[in-house]
Every structure is written in structure tokens, then in C-alpha cells.
Amino acid sequence: MVSHSELKQLFCAADAVCFDVDSTVIREEGIDELARFCGVEDAVSEMTRRAMGGALPFRAALTERLALIQPSREQVQRLLAERPPHLTPGIRELVSRLQERNVQVFLISGGFRSIVEHVAAKLNIPAANVFANRLKFYFNGEYAGFDETQPTAESGGKGKVIKFLKEKYHFKKIIMIGDGATDMEACPPADVFIGFGGNVIRQQVKDNARWYITDFVELLGELEE
């Protein structure tokens, strides 16, 4: 069993840090915001809650929610223009500090690439370091499903992305930081999981994560020591 001080040492020695996006890097759940924008908020947020709690297989939950929302390309673009996601306090400084230390920062999300790339740009994270689901649209812009070949479209997908990153870049130590069950399940192959409850506390994660924080300032402090 690794001690808490050893976990902190692993974090400071990491060569890559992966962040979940919804309710971690940003304050909102992107799919719920899209549902609200499209007028089907209540039905979709209940499904999100069940998916995050691990009660529904991820792909089934995603398929069902998107079938309810049916977002067009124009609606996604309008959402980003009119209601852009809000960065969680401290994340900009934390990502910047990690990058100064030559740590590779990745965003791994079960949300949508168009929204996650918007967030990545705010944090100076290259689009190549974004792993998320791709919405598909017909030529007239209407919803046509999502790319089911993306690893993030299935249960266990975040772990598959981390395994891929280890194989491709030969990282020695990868940290996964997130609020949900799907983030915690990515460790292993991640070397350390840090649960984040600064926007929403998921009891299953709080109870089982060996390192749980509610403010990114704590991680900044570890890097400064």
C-alpha cells in the first residue's frame, strides 16, 4: 500500500498528468449544458447522474442522452458562443505550472471534442493532447450520431487512452485527476488517481480515492514545495 506522502512524491515526479474535463477542469457537465440549451435538461441530467455513479454502461448512457438531445452543429456552436464553459478556479495556474515543469498535460473526456478543444485552447493544451467523443452531423448540420470507434465512447475508455499514451510516449508515471467513477477506474493503468470534488462530490469516489482534493490549490502547493 502506497502511503500518502509517496503518492505526493509520485505526483511531483510525473511526466504526464491527465485531467477529466466535465466537473473537473470545467465547472459544468458539458452534456447537461448541451441538453439545457436544447430544452431537454431534466431527462438528460438524471441519465448523467446514473452514468457517473456507474449504474449505466457508458456507451448506452451516451447513446440514450444524445438520442434525446439530437444536437445540431449550429446548436453546439451557439452553446460555445453564448454559454461557454467556466474553468474551475486554480486549473489555469495548475496546468501552466505543470507545463513549466515540462510535464505533458492531456484532457481525457467522455464529453464532446468540439467543447473540449475549446477548453484546451484556453489552457494552451494542444488539440493533439485531447481525447474525447466526436459528434457526427449530416451535410445540413443535423445530428447524425457519434463516432463509436473512439475509446472514450465506452466503459473503461479512459484507461485505454492512458495505456495508449504509455505505449506511444513511454511515460514512466501518469497521474489521472477527475471527479467520477470512470476516472477512478483508469488507475491502473494510471499510476496515481487523484479524486476531485471541487465542483461536485461523488460519494463513491470520495470514499475510495486514496488522495481526494476539493481545490487545485492543494496540488499547486505540492509543486511549489
Please report the DSSP string for 142-202 in residue order: -EEEE-TTSGGGSTTHHHHHHHHHHHHH--S-EEEEESSHHHHTTTTTSSEEEEE-SS---
- Please give the C-alpha separations between residue 54 and each of 59, 82, 184, 206, in angstroms, as whole numbers: 12, 32, 11, 14
Taking the C-alpha atoms of residue 2 and residue 76, their distance in angstroms, rounded to an integer, is: 43
Specify whether 22 is catalytic.
Answer: yes
Q: Which member of 22, 32, 183, 191 is catalytic?
A: 22
Radius of gyration, alpha carbons of the chain: 17
Task: Tell how strand 143-146 and strand 16-19 pair up.
Answer: unpaired
Which residues 6+ apart lie within 8 Å of 104 measured at CB?
15, 16, 17, 129, 169, 171
Catalytic positions, written as ranges: 20, 22
